[in-house]
Every structure is written in C-alpha cells, then in structure tokens.
Amino acid sequence: MSMSDHQNRFAVDRVLKFGGTSVGTPVRIKSVIEIIKKAYADSPHIAVTVSAFGGITDRLIALGKIASRGKDDYQNELAEVIECHKISANTLIPQERLLEALKTLDQTLSELRKVLEGVSLIKELSPKTLDLLMSFGERLSAFIIVEAILPDISQARFLDARDLIKTDRTFGKARVDFKETNKNILKYFYDFPGVLPIITGFIGSSKENETTTLGRGGSDYTAAIIGAALNVNVIEIWTDVNGVMTADPRKEPCAFSIPEMSYKEAMEMSYFGAKVIHPPTIVPALEKNIPLLIKNSFSPEVSGTWIGTVSSKSESLICGISTIDDVVLLCLQGTGIVGVCGMAKRLFGALAEKGINIILISQGSSEHSICLAVSPSFADIAKEAIESEFALEMQANIIDEVAIEQNLSVVAVVGENMRGAPGIAGKLFGALGKNGINVIAIIQGSSELNITVVVKKEDGVKAVRVVHEAFFLSPRKNLNVFLVGVGLIGSTLLKKLESHAQILHDEYSLDIRVIGLANSRAMTFDPQGIKLKEWSAILGRASEKMDVKVFIERMMHLNLINTVFVDCTSDQDVSDAYEAILQARIPIVTPNKKANSGRYENYEKLKRVTTKNGTKFLYGSNVGAGLPIISTINELVRSGDKILKVEAILSGTLSYLFNSFTEGKVFSEEVREAQMKGYTEPDPRDDLNGMDVARKLLILARESDYPLEMDDIVIQRILPENCFNASSVDDFYVKLKSHDEQLAVKRREVQKEGKVLRFIAKFEKGQGDVSLQAVGPEHPFYNLSGTDNIIAITSEFYRENPLIIKGQGAGAEVTAGKVLTDIIRLGLDHIS
Ligand code: ASP
Ligand code: MG
C-alpha cells in the first residue's frame, strides 16, 4: 500500500507516544505540547498516546493496597494524587476552558474516590478492581493534555482506549483481541477524519466492558497496536533518554545511543533490563514492518534510535549491553538428574505453577545440575516449590537441597552481528578476566543474539564498564592508579603523569587518573581522580593515617576498572601485600626490589600467581633504572637461550664514585660530594655496603632461571667493618676518612697497571659475587662515566661476544620514566 493510499484511507502516518516522565510535571507537559504542535504542523496526520503522569500508576496501586486494609488512611495520599492533577490542570488549561474542564475532572476524580471507598469497604483489591483503579492515571493525563492543547490544535480529541482496544479478562496483563480492536480503530479513524486523538495508553476493556490493562509499561504497546492497525509509517516512543543506549548510562558514562537496530536486538536488549521499550510493543510493529523511533522528549533535537529490520550498523561486534541488577541463582543438582528424562519439565512446571518468572537457565552437558536465575522476591518461593516437587528424590539422597546464591547481577551482550562471528566470547571473558571479575554462570542462546554472564552484584557495574570498553571504541580509556610512596621517584612520577596527560589523552586515548595516594604518614582517595597539580597539598591535608592494609582494602572495595597498583616505596610491608593484590587481578608496577629479592619461594609464588591469573607484575625499574635489562633477559630466556654468565655494574652510585675517584681525589670527599648531589641514599652506607647491588644481581639471576637465594651471593666489602658500624652518618665520615689513605694506595697500584677500580656484580654457574675489581682497557667496563650502569650477558646465543647494555643507571627521572612506561604498557594492553 502506498503512502498516499493509506493517508487517504485513514489519514494517520505517525503515532507519538509520551511516557510518564515526559508528562511528569506541568513544565514537562508544556514541552510535550510543543513537540506535538511541531509534529502536527509538519503533517496533521498524527495520533498521540500518553501514559499516566510520572509515578501516578505506582501511587494508585499503593492507594488501592492501603484502602484494602479497610481503614481510612488512604485519604492523605488520595488528596495528594488529586492535588497533583489539579495543579497540572490549573497551570495548563487556559482560563476560558478551565471551569468546564475542572467540572469534568471532578467527575472523574469522584469516580476514583468511589472506587477506593468500595475497596475499603469490602477490604479487597481484586486484579479487576486494580485495573480499574490504575486506568484513572491515563484517563486523567490524557484529558488534561487534550484540554491544554485545544487552544493550539482545535482538532484535538480525548480518546479513551477502552472504546477501541478489546481484550480478554486477564486483568493486570490482558491479551488483545486484535480482530475486534483493529476493526474499532479503523472505524474510529474512518468516522472522525482529521481529528488529532490524544489516546489513553495502557488500558483496554473486555467484551463485558470491564476495564483491563495491558501490563505495566503498556502505553508503548497501545501506541504500537494503534500504529499497526493504521499501518502508519513510524511509531515514535518519546521517553527521557536519547534512545536505546549501548549500556545504562548511570553505570557507564561513555554509553551512547544506538542509531539503528533491529527488532530482535531491541527485544533482546529490553528483556535484559534496558527499560527503553516495553517488549510486547515490538510485536505489532514487527508484524507490519513499521519502524519504531525512540526519542527523548527532554532533548527533541537528538536523533534517537531507529528500530527496524536492519541490525545495528556499528563497527563493533555487539549492539549493546544490558543488565539485570539483582538476581538469585538456584541450582538443582545431584546424580538423580543425570540422564533422566522429564526433570526439566518437572522443575519448570513446579515454578510455573507458582507463577515464577525464570530469567535464565543453564545446564551443563554433564547434566549434573540445572541452574536458573529468578528475581530475589521469588527466591524463597522458588526454592520451596522445587524442593516440594523433588521431595522424594531428596529423601533418597539422589538430589541435593536446592543451592541458592544471592546478590548476583546479569550482564548480557546483545547484537545480531555476533552471529557466526568467532572470538566474541573470548573478548568478553578476556576483558572480564583481566579485571578480576569472576563469572559465575554463562549462557549463550543458539540464536547467538546474546551472551549472558552472571557475576557478583558488587562486580555488576564494573563488568558493564569493562565490557563496554572492550567492545565499543569509546573515546576514553581510563587507567585508575593507586600510588604508594611519594619520595623522589613517586613525586617525579606524579609530575610526569601530569605533564604527559595531554599527550596520552590525544595520542593514545589514555587517561591515567590517580585515585589513591599515600606516603608513610597519610593516605587519600578520590574516585574522580586526584588533581595532580595539587597532589602535595591534598596529601598534606589528608587526615587518614596510612595503613597499607586499609589502603589496599579501599582500592579493592572501589572495584574500579583497569586498576593499577604502583609501589614507589622500598618497604617490605608494601611488597608483602603483592600476592593478595595480584590474586585480585590488579596489576602492579614497581621499582621496589623487596619482593623479588626476598626468599626465592616468595619470588616464585608471585610468578605463579601472575601466570595463573594473567595479571601483570611489572618491575623493569628494579635493575638499571630505565635500562632495558630485565626485559632483555626475559626475551632471551623466552626465545630458548640459556644465560651462562652475567657481569654488571648495577649501582649508579658506586659507578659514579669510582668513575670520579681519579688522580689526586680523596675517597671520603667523593662520597660527600655524591651525597650532596643526591646520588646516594640518605645514608651512603646503604650504597657502599653492596647490599643494593647484591639484590639486583639476585633478581637478574632469578630472571635468568637460576633459583638463587641471597646467601648464595658473596659480598666483598669495600670498606672495613668499623665504617659500617659507625653510630651515625657523621661518625661514618670520620671513620671513612681514616680509611682514605688505604684506598688511595690501592687506586695508585691499580693505576700503575693501567687499570681502574670497578664495583662488579657477577654470577656464573649458580654462584654470585659482588666485589671491587681492577679492570684494564680491554674490559668493557673500563670506559664508564657518570652514573653509568653496564651489563654484559654471556649466553648460548651470545657466547663469543657478550650482549652489552649500557647507559645512565640511576636517577629519579629515568626510574620514574620506566615506571610510567610500564603503566602505559598496561593501559595499552587493556585497550587491545
Ligand atoms: N502508566 C502505566 C505504568 O506505569 C503504563 C505506562 O506508563 O506505559 O505502567
Ligand atoms: Mg643508590
């Protein structure tokens, strides 16, 4: 049928439906009237359906319940409901019609009062009476809107849908008799050409003319029934969001409206909680192939979502993510189920008898258990129903007591593009796994229109965000950093994070926010991200005492996506928490060597956790500051090489000291100068005792696949014991001075042989040592300057000539730079 044909016959080509929030207040109704006026001006061939004013249906139900207790205490609530409609009438209806309109309104309101009196009298609220009670919502709203619009559109008419939509007597959710209904609709529009009916949504009537309703949210359905009967070009659902969104925007701020999607996709999305459209609405539209357009009455300029025969055209593999916030999982299990026919029938029969709606079902192919999700309000009745159905089997111990798991959420990814596209489940579970979200049950229908997972309720929002980020190329990727330690390295890192923010945002679409920050004294958190320019003042003001345990609990409790723990301390108690953090699948980036240089058992345990969970533990800055030492060893080992020997200068501090300890220089003065330049630890003995170097060597040995312990490394002290035992740093310098001459002699001897002194760490054949050695010009360690580190790796691949890495090996700049590189790497990993 061509457009002009049906315009000639019924003169309607658009149905516009306005939902409760769109007509929530007089101001809202005014803008709805503007939308109707504009549509009417474009073409007068329209019809309008409205819901009750926002919240009114719920209040009517509540009124009925209170009244059915037989007391008078519904009066206050009733007065409020009446008042609310009167205010709208007074505000919207022009003076000259107001008196007359209020009279009619009063008639309807007194009818409402009578119904409630009746309920109160007989102390019973039957489904039939409830339907009648609810019908007042739409009847009142449609009436007031017609009166308000009449001055602008004289053809507007109040139309009570009970005169058109005929249903059976299933009160509360009546089924439509389409034959009768369509006849009535066509007749009305035939009899009254050129009118603009404002139709009550949601309600209908039985053959006996009893009032019925089409189920909660049923005004959409009314619009679709009318639109389909008139074969309109489009059914417009005006609501309070910009169309069907890729996810609930309250959960995922990056959610956007889907421009176009198929009926099937829309249906699938709405079954799983995207409350934009009432699922049955789609059926009449689909049968007649009439597109639905979802629009926002609060922002009419937004193009909204078209629902039709074409599936979503987006680049991404899915169309949207839908959720049900609170479900309960019930599991029927036991040997008595395996291979027995009719179990499912009995199970579902028992639930159906009690009118329990099943949200999803999963059965493993071992048939050992059947799990199903229901809404929490049904959980107890469902358990009872199942257990009474299987009482005999339970007595015989072949079926277990029904297991209940509460506080769960359902997250479903939906889209027709998924059909036949491999890798979607992989992507979904990869993203969830990377973020430590445990999946409790999985369901994919064979239509492949959705993959549904059940997760813990506390993971629900995070799951939506993680999945949204994985499937939609949303413009922003967030990394949420929790940083402990704001000493030289930590504070340099913060400075870098601030100065790099723009570049990371522009070039890598990466936004790194610092959510938690702590020094040894205090800690502070800001889920929106701490202002990096002011971190020092913010942390200074923080009153919460630092406690590593609490810090980590808070981090886990916030449960943000893409969380990263960064440890810029050198504390043992921080590194003691790594295992728990990695277990929670939160990656760690750190220059802190404590964890890797403690007992081998501990090192190995962390390795195991990371391998098992696929969570990253990045400590490239443990050795050689920014130099790619650890990564090179890792790559060699991974490619099948065997490391035979490592020789290295691994302390920037000691490197500097011996590089500058030349002709005529005094060693103790060199140390003092190095300390002043900030090249040493606050207590220079922490560098000079060789421990730091030994730790690094131990880590390199372990990375090279040698399970060494600290005891396996021999440290030859470069200074006598009394220097190390000195009571203070000042005292240390006094003792050191007395040793200057001895060192000068040693240096001169070495120089005579054409050599220089170098503090060298070495491991070979499972043995490690750290000692001061003399090397000649032929040695690769001869030519060093400043704080250079150098490492020579001899391996099966590099047997003749060792692989050498050399460069500046100390300083906050390069170390923090490496930490930042590792953080960015995590960010890019998360994105891919
Ligand atoms: N007023 C009814 C309800 O709240 C119908 C609707 O709004 O679509 O369920
Ligand atoms: Mg040092």
Among positive and negative, which fits the CA dihedral 220, 222, 225, 229? Answer: negative
Q: Quick check: helix, strand or coil at residue 175?
A: coil
Q: What is the pLDDT of residue 360?
A: 86
Residue 81 CB–ligand 1 contact under 6 Å: no
What is the pLDDT confidence band of residue 249, given thresholds at 50, 70 and 90?
Answer: confident
Which is catalytic among the residues 456, 462, 594, 696? 696
Distance 281 CA to ligand 1 centre (A): 13
- The count of other CB atoms within 10 Å of the CB of residue 120 is 21
And the tokens for 9? 């016959």
**Among 109-123, 221-235, 808-822, which is the least confidently predicted range?**
808-822
The residues pairing with 363 across neighbouring beta strands, listed in sequence order, are 370
Residue 139 CA to residue 143 CA, distance in Å, equals 6
What is the pLDDT confidence band of residue 422, given thresholds at 50, 70 and 90?
Answer: confident
Give the residue carrying structure tokens 């769960």. Answer: 408
More confident residue, 410 or 422: 410
Distance 801 CA to ligand 2 centre (A): 29
Distance 220 CA to ligand 1 centre (A): 8
Q: Which atom of ligand 1 is found nearest the CA of 52?
A: 1
Q: Which atom of ligand 1 is found nearest the CA of 137?
A: 1
Q: Which atom of ligand 1 is found nearest the CA of 51?
A: 7
Distance 57 CA to ligand 1 centre (A): 6
**Mean pLDDT over residues 466-482, rounded?**
82
> How confident is the model over 548-587, as pLDDT tens digits?
999 999 999 998 888 999 999 999 999 999 999 999 999 9
Residue 238 CB–ligand 1 contact under 6 Å: no
Q: Judge if pTM exceeds 0.85.
A: no
Residue 640 CA to residue 637 CA, distance in Å, equals 5
Starting from the edge strand earliest in sequence, which strands make up the sheet with 788-795, in order? Answer: 713-715, 767-775, 756-764, 643-649, 788-795, 803-808
816 membership: H or E segment, kind and range: helix 812-831
Q: Which of 18, 28, 51 best tests ligand 1's pocket when mutated (most atoms within 8 Å of CB)?
A: 51
Q: Which of 461, 189, 179, 416 minimizes the C-alpha distance to 307? A: 416
With a cut of 50, say whether residue 419 has pLDDT above it.
Answer: yes
Residue 78 CA to residue 85 CA, distance in Å, equals 11
Q: What is the pLDDT of residue 187?
A: 95
Phi-psi region of 511 (alpha: psi -120 to 50; beta: other; left: phi over 0): beta
Residues with CB under 5 A from ligand 2 (ion): 653, 687
Distance 95 CA to ligand 1 centre (A): 30
Q: Which atom of ligand 1 is found nearest the CA of 220?
A: 8
Residue 201 CB–ligand 1 contact under 6 Å: yes
With a cut of 90, say whether residue 831 has pLDDT above it.
Answer: no
> How confident is the model over 613-669, as pLDDT tens digits?
889 999 999 999 899 999 999 999 999 999 999 999 999 999 999 999 999 999 999
Q: Which atom of ligand 1 is found nearest the CA of 214?
A: 5
**Mean pLDDT over residues 160-174, rounded?**
97
What's the N-to-C CA distance of the chain in angstroms?
Answer: 50
> How confident is the model over 495-521, as pLDDT tens digits?
999 999 999 988 888 899 999 999 999
Q: What is the mean pLDDT of the chain?
A: 91
Among positive and negative, which fits the CA dihedral 139, 142, 147, 148? Answer: positive
With a cut of 90, say whether residue 827 has pLDDT above it.
Answer: no
What does the DSSP 8-state code read for residue 402?
A: P
From atom 5 of ligand 1, which residue's Cα is the shortest distance away?
A: 217
Q: What is the pLDDT of residue 199?
A: 98
Contact in structure between 347 and 386 (CB atoms under 8 Å): yes
Q: What is the pLDDT of residue 357?
A: 87
From atom 2 of ligand 1, which residue's Cα is the shortest distance away?
A: 217
Residue 515 CA to residue 530 CA, distance in Å, equals 6
Residue 20 CB–ligand 1 contact under 6 Å: yes
> How confident is the model over 266-306, as pLDDT tens digits?
888 876 656 667 778 888 999 999 999 999 999 999 999 99
Distance 135 CA to ligand 1 centre (A): 10
- The count of other CB atoms within 10 Å of the CB of residue 466 is 26
- The answer for residues whose C-beta is within 8 angstroms of residue 159's C-beta and 6 or more apart is 142, 188, 197, 198, 199, 200
Residue 238 CA to residue 305 CA, distance in Å, equals 11
Q: What is the pLDDT of residue 282?
A: 86
Distance 133 CA to ligand 1 centre (A): 13
Contact in structure between 309 and 360 (CB atoms under 8 Å): no
Q: What is the pLDDT of residue 336?
A: 83
Q: Which of 132, 216, 235 best tests ligand 1's pocket when mutated (most atoms within 8 Å of CB)?
A: 216
Residue 218 CB–ligand 1 contact under 6 Å: yes
Q: What is the pLDDT of residue 475?
A: 54
Our measurement of the distance from residue 699's CA atom to the centroid of its chain's CA atoms, rounded to an integer in Å, reads 36
Contact in structure between 262 and 307 (CB atoms under 8 Å): yes
Burial class (CB in 10 A: 0-12, 13-18, 19+), 672: middle
Q: What is the pLDDT of residue 2?
A: 41
And the tokens for 631? 């990564």
- The answer for residues whose C-beta is within 8 angstroms of residue 574's C-beta and 6 or more apart is 484, 485, 548, 567, 592, 594
Residue 280 CB–ligand 1 contact under 6 Å: no
Distance 619 CA to ligand 1 centre (A): 57
Q: Which of 91, 5, 92 minimizes the C-alpha distance to 45? A: 5
What is the pLDDT confidence band of residue 4, given thresholds at 50, 70 and 90?
Answer: very low
> How confident is the model over 332-364, as pLDDT tens digits?
988 888 777 888 889 999 999 998 988 888 877
Q: Which atom of ligand 1 is found nearest the CA of 218?
A: 8
652 membership: H or E segment, kind and range: helix 652-660
**Mean pLDDT over residues 420-425, rounded?**
82
Percent of the chain with pLDDT over 70: 96
Residue 57 CB–ligand 1 contact under 6 Å: yes
Phi-psi region of 113 (alpha: psi -120 to 50; beta: other; left: phi over 0): alpha
Residue 216 CB–ligand 1 contact under 6 Å: yes
Tell me, yes or no, if 696 is annotated catalytic.
yes
With a cut of 70, say whether residue 315 has pLDDT above it.
Answer: no
Residue 217 CB–ligand 1 contact under 6 Å: yes
The residues pairing with 589 across neighbouring beta strands, listed in sequence order, are 566, 618
Residue 231 CA to residue 2 CA, distance in Å, equals 11
Residue 156 CA to residue 140 CA, distance in Å, equals 15
Residue 219 CB–ligand 1 contact under 6 Å: yes
More confident residue, 82 or 341: 82
Contact in structure between 156 and 150 (CB atoms under 8 Å): yes
Residue 388 CA to residue 233 CA, distance in Å, equals 52
Q: Which atom of ligand 1 is found nearest the CA of 202?
A: 5
And the tokens for 527? 């889920």
- Point out the ligand nearest to the CA of residue 142: 1
> With b meaning 16 or more CB within 10 Å and e meaning fewer, what string describes 130-148?
bbbbbbbbbbbbbbbbbbb
Residue 141 CB–ligand 1 contact under 6 Å: no
Q: What is the pLDDT of residue 16?
A: 98
Which amino acid, 747? Answer: R
Q: What is the pLDDT of residue 291?
A: 96
